[in-house]
Structure 1
Amino acid sequence: MKLSAPLFLLKRRAKLIARNNNVPLHKALDQIAREEGFAQWSLLSSHVAALSLSEMLLSRLDYGDLLLVAGRPGHGKTTLGLQLLIDAARYGRKAIFFTLELTERQARTHIRSLEKDTPGIGDSLDIVTSDEICANFIIRHLSGSPRGSIVVVDYLQLLDQQRNKPELSEQITALGDFASKTGVIVAFISQVDRSFDPERKRLPDIQDIRLPNFVDLTLFTKTCFLHNGKAQIHGVA
């Protein structure tokens, strides 16, 4: 059973009901759960816990978040980014993929392989493959996008590869400010440094991000690290 909206929006709706109707929050949460087809909120929460990683990630994102999705090559970070966009599109949200790595044909082929029970849903995704992609380009393209739009940028380390583009830290700062002001959610696919050793720790973390050029990683609000089929979602302190 699919929810009518991501979990964080359902929680916001329950808080509004509790405030407007002067009822305890747990009763408002149970009311929302019943509207979604569950007897109580705890059952709805259990359902969310069993969702795919992309749906779980979508439910954890707030308006204005700057998300980092990172892993070594071949561990699913691009797949997760595209699946996140597909899930957003299923909820009727605007979904845009900016890629400096894939051609549009490659991206469309990958998306079609992920569509599962909703073939054609990926056709609503906006795919941008220009070599000019950078913070200013992205911000111009997103002008007028509704709050809650989901953007995936592929990938972080390529944004300032051309010398005529601003420094990476400057670009991330600009995109963070834009996301905060507009409520658009921007996710960056990122490489993990070769020095990451899975023998020493199960998953990479923010210390393992490959940074050929400096960027203040505390500018990101959430992270998701992947390795060998495992994942962990964190807020950035």
Structure 2
Amino acid sequence: MKLTAPIYHLKRRAKRLCREEAIPLHEALDRIAVQEGYSTWSLLAARQTTAGTAASMLAQLAPGDLVVLGARPGQGKTLKSLELAVEAMRAGHRAYFFTLEYTVTDVIERFAAIGADHGRFAPLFEIDCSDTISADHIVGKLSKADPGTLVVVDYLQLLDQRRDNPALGDQVRKLRAFARQRGLIIIFISQIDRSFEAAVKPLPDLDDIRMPNPVDLRLFDKAYFLNKGEARLLAIN
């Protein structure tokens, strides 16, 4: 059964209901579950497919992969990328989060939203909020990264903003070669064009990725698309 919103949105709704009506959280969760067509929250959680879980998504990625993770605003693409980073760190790998969008505090606060303790993973997790993030910057920062390191770039289109940066296609090509050389997994969070209409198709695809300047999407190995709690993997190469 398809949910009306991602799980984390439903949890936020339940917490708000808990405060507004002064009821226990478990009761608020069950009420939300009923609205979604399930008798209890535990049944809702159990019935949801594991296809979109971070663990199953990460299992489908391999060292050297270049991945695009796309969704419209509010569909959880940043949180999903952090969930993937957490899963990689649970397996003993390091993770890096390069962002031109958020501050360090913003990123750390989002750990709570996915139910993870930032303090536990801090030794393996590095956040880079430099204004000069580009392919060259990332390659320089990760020159000694171990195979299996997971890298999140937030987000793809912002690499194209500075006039002194190389063309976006050239940057993606450089990071593709670097990922293969070092055995890294690099995930680009990506914007989806406003023209995407969920009423026409349930999930975005490659045609919906917003590209202010042309980029050969065949440079990517895989793409994940999110919408309303659903996720789909597309193998590009």
Q: TM-score, normalised by structure 1?
A: 0.76
1:76-117 Cα shifts (integer Å, max 9, x gaps): 10000011111111111010000000000100111233244x
**Offset from partner CA, 1:154-205 (integer Å, 9 cap, x none):** 0000002010111100000000000111111100000000000111111000
Cα distance in 2 for partners of 1:135, 1:190 equals 16
Higher relative contact order (CA 8 A, sep 6+): 2
* Matched positions, count: 188
Inter-partner Cα distance in structure 2 for 1:107 and 1:166: 27
Could you say what the CA RMSD is over the residues aligned between the two structures, in angstroms?
Answer: 1.4
Once the two structures are superposed, residues 60-86 of structure 1 have per-residue CA deviations (whole angstroms, 9 ceiling, x without a partner) of 111100000000000010000011111
Asked if the contact 2:172–2:219 (Cα under 8 Å) also holds between the matched residues in 1, the reply is yes
Identity among equivalent positions (%) equals 43
Q: Distance in 2 between matches of 1:229 and 1:235?
A: 20
Which amino acid in structure 2 is aligned with residue 141 of structure 1?
Answer: K
What does residue 122 of structure 2 align with? Answer: 123
SS of aligned partner of 1:178: helix
Alignment partners' CA distance in 2, 1:52 and 1:205: 16
Q: Are residue 152 (structure 1) and residue 152 (structure 2) matched?
A: yes
Q: CA deviation at 1:52?
A: 5.9
Q: Is the 8 A contact 2:51 2:231 kept in 1?
A: no
Which runs of no fewer than 5 residues in structure 1 stay unpaired? 1-48
- Residue in 2 that maps onto 1:221: 221
Give the Cα separation in 2 of the matches to 1:112 and 1:64: 29
Within 5 A, what are the aligned runs for 1:2-41?
Answer: none
Contact 2:102 2:129 (8 Å CA) reproduced: yes
Q: 2:209 — aligned with what?
A: 209
Distance in 2, Cα, partners of 1:52 & 1:173: 28
Listed one character per residue, the Cα deviations across residues 7-60 of structure 1 (whole Å, up to 9, x for unaligned) are: xxxxxxxxxxxxxxxxxxxxxxxxxxxxxxxxxxxxxxxxxx747611111101
SS in 1 for 2:160: coil
**Whole-Å separation in 1 of the counterparts to 2:50 and 2:203:** 21
Inter-partner Cα distance in structure 2 for 1:210 and 1:65: 21
Q: Match for residue 43 of structure 1?
A: none
Aligned to 1:23: none
**Which AA in structure 1 matches 2:177?**
D
Superposition misfits of 4+ residues, deviation over 3 angstroms: 49-52
Q: Distance in 1 between matches of 2:168 and 2:51?
A: 34
| 1:234 alignment partner in structure 2 | 234
- Report the AA paired with residue 119 of structure 2: G
Amino acid at match of 1:232: R
How many angstroms apart in 1 are the aligned matches of 2:226 and 2:180? 26
What stretches of structure 2 of length at least 5 have no aligned partner?
A: 1-48
CA–CA distance in structure 2, aligned partners of residues 214 and 68 of structure 1 = 15
Structure 1 residue identity aligned to 2:107: A
